[in-house]
A and B are shown apart, each in its own frame.
Chain A
Amino acid sequence: MKSVRETLPVKPALQLGVDHDLCPGCGEPLALRMLLEAIEELGCAQRAIGVVGIGCYTALSPLMDVDVIQALHGRAPSLATGAKRMRPDALLFTLQGDGDMVNEGLQEVLHTAARGERITCVLLNNGVFGETGGHMTATTVIGQRTKNSIEGRDAAYHGHPILIGDLLAQQAGTAYAARGSVHDAAGVARTKRLLRRAFETQLDGHGFSFVEILTMCPTGWFVGTAKGPGYLAEVLAPVHAMGELKRDGRYVSSAELRAARKT
């Protein structure tokens, strides 16, 4: 009799293994799996080029069986721009964290969106610099404890979080923007649908597309492994509200998504 591990597809075809160095309870391997499955399902395995930023997820790039360009912290959208302009038929995506995209790389992702660059930027947002051990980023929510906002993020002292999805969705060059999560099974399945729509937007030549994925970081949140999904739902998700922020030319703000969830 076969064991469960032998009969279930434990990894997508575009993933070279399941062994990685990230922490227990990390949401990033789940997000990667959805990303690779979406590429595969769209039949784009032989035309995908990924540009990977710098963060914990950088350690996942050796598992990705698609062509990869390793970028500097924050610089992935520019590299993807240059690559896409030279290879318009390729499916170009970036894989970036919130520190990478929203702190150091804010200017470039914003200009890339405004230019309507036909690429898909994927943000893994856990609200902390996970790789450095849990420090505040531009998406850390008010009240969130990090190693450099030890009593919780204080708006008067540390400033406010940036809702990057809203910022990008409002650019005329952005054709699609959405925010999902991997904290529960429904969220994981929805995230793959969002990624597929973003990639389809790119393949149809409609402009810039963006998918933000809220991911668990129990290590950087200083909670137990099993408490990660709950923390994401209770702390991050109420601010970085999930849903489609832009589709078919219509922008729906995070505030509107939040209000819709309450009613």
Chain B
Amino acid sequence: MTRTLMEGSEAIACAAIAAGCRFFAGYPMTPFTELLEQMARKLPAAGGVCINAESEIEAVGMTWGALATGARAATGGTGQGLALMQESFSEITRAELPLVVFNMARGQGDYFQATRGGGHGDYRHLVLAPCDAREAVALTQLAFDLADRWRNPVLVYGDYLLAHTAEAVEIAAESFPPLPPKEWAVDGSLGGSGRSRNLNPLGMQKGRKGIEPEPFWRRLQAKHDAMAEREPRWESDATPDAELVVVAFGTLARFARHVVRELRREGARVGLFRPITLWPFPSRALRDACAGARRVAVLEQNAGQMIDDVRLALEGRVPVIPIGGISSDSAGFGIGPLLDPDEVRTRIEGALAPHEVSR
């Protein structure tokens, strides 16, 4: 086992290439820039292509074209850049193409964007939220596998801290169960046979006039229902005696985990629940983890987004309070004062205090 010290951006790039990613397109923007740089540096040597697109709209379009040929391909940006890609995300989901997207977000304010999306129509993306570089390496490879398995986009939610923290990671191609051949991919070979392909988000088919949206969309909905059933992932560190369960995701969950363990060593009855998939949200697992809790505290670095999913999951069984909030550095990159173990400890202690009234 060879471990190498590298920043999260480089680790993700290495993991993507190890997973077989051979096409990447993006547009520079902090803190996504370094992922694009790393792909530009590393992909050609791996026999791939990285294009510095004229905007995020073209970046996702180029990736769409590469995916259509059966290649493993990815794009990314910050939440701002991903906002520009939403129309294509909707259509790529309907065309059932295995897109992988990296949001190196400026903080956690893109939770709604990642889990609800800003695109048109009914569509869902699997969303993976690693808490450190080691997990990012694993989840990046999982993202490519899940995208191919479901023929559906997968979004990896990172941030500045993940992109720029150097950690010791091991890059090795992980093995997954075999996938069916991509018979749907276009290569031109079936031209003139009467069986040529049409990778179409509208449900159009060769030799048939018009579209039939309803059966087409119902089939996609059934697929998304199956994804919601089978793909929730989480880390639960909530012991049955925990009176307070802290829910946190991504890099902020790492701070929460550290503080929760520290408090427990000191005798506090507190546990941690960390969704690894933001969609599908691990609702059932969260309900189980909070079965004995008196209170649930949601620690997120935004004005309150994931807390909606926590409340929906718990269906009013346990009071849910927000203990995070907007927290930013002066540049707006999401490196706020909340990203500090002492600050996180203060917030969790506040939620543990008996006089705290649930809001």
Q: Identify the A interface with B (CB < 8 A).
A: 13-14, 16-17, 19-21, 39-40, 44-49, 51, 58-59, 61-72, 75, 77-87, 90-91, 107-108, 111
Q: What are 7 A-B residue pairs whose CB atoms fall within 8 Å in the complex?
A: A13-B192, A62-B207, A70-B95, A75-B58, A81-B51, A83-B68, A86-B73
Question: What's the Cα separation between A59 and B61 when bound, in Å?
Answer: 21
Question: What's the Cα separation between A148 and B49 when bound, in Å?
Answer: 43
Nearest Cβ on chain A to B55's Cβ, whole angstroms: 7
Question: What's the Cα separation between A64 and B194 when bound, in Å?
Answer: 9
Whether the Cβ atoms of B196 and A62 lie closer than 8 Å is no
Which B200-216 residues have C-beta < 8 A from chain A?
200-202, 204-210
19 further A-B contacts with Cβ under 8 Å, apart from A64-B196, A67-B190, A71-B64, are A14-B192, A17-B207, A39-B191, A46-B189, A46-B190, A63-B207, A67-B186, A69-B95, A70-B202, A75-B57, A75-B88, A82-B51, A82-B68, A83-B68, A83-B69, A85-B49, A86-B22, A107-B54, A111-B54
Question: What's the Cα separation between A21 and B209 when bound, in Å?
Answer: 8
Whether the Cβ atoms of A82 and B73 lie closer than 8 Å is yes
B25: interface (CB < 8 Å): yes
Knowing A46-B192, A47-B188 touch, does A61 contact B91 (C-beta < 8 A)?
no
Whether the Cβ atoms of B188 and A82 lie closer than 8 Å is no
Give the residue name and chain of the B residue nearest to A81 (CB).
B62
Q: Identify the B interface with A (CB < 8 A).
A: 22-23, 25, 49, 51, 53-55, 57-58, 61-71, 73, 87-88, 91, 95, 186-194, 196-202, 204-210
**Given the complex, which residues of A lie within 8 Å of B196, measured CB to CB?**
64-68
**Given the complex, which residues of B lie within 8 Å of A65, measured CB to CB?**
191-194, 196, 206
Whether the Cβ atoms of B206 and A82 lie closer than 8 Å is no
Nearest Cβ on chain A to B267's Cβ, whole angstroms: 57
Nearest Cβ on chain B to A47's Cβ, whole angstroms: 4
Whether the Cβ atoms of B207 and A16 lie closer than 8 Å is yes
Question: What's the Cα separation between A20 and B207 when bound, in Å?
Answer: 10
Nearest Cβ on chain B to A119's Cβ, whole angstroms: 10
**Given the complex, which residues of B lie within 8 Å of A59, measured CB to CB?**
209-210
Question: What's the Cα separation between A44 and B2 when bound, in Å?
Answer: 48
**Given the complex, which residues of B lie within 8 Å of A86, measured CB to CB?**
22-23, 49, 65-66, 69-71, 73
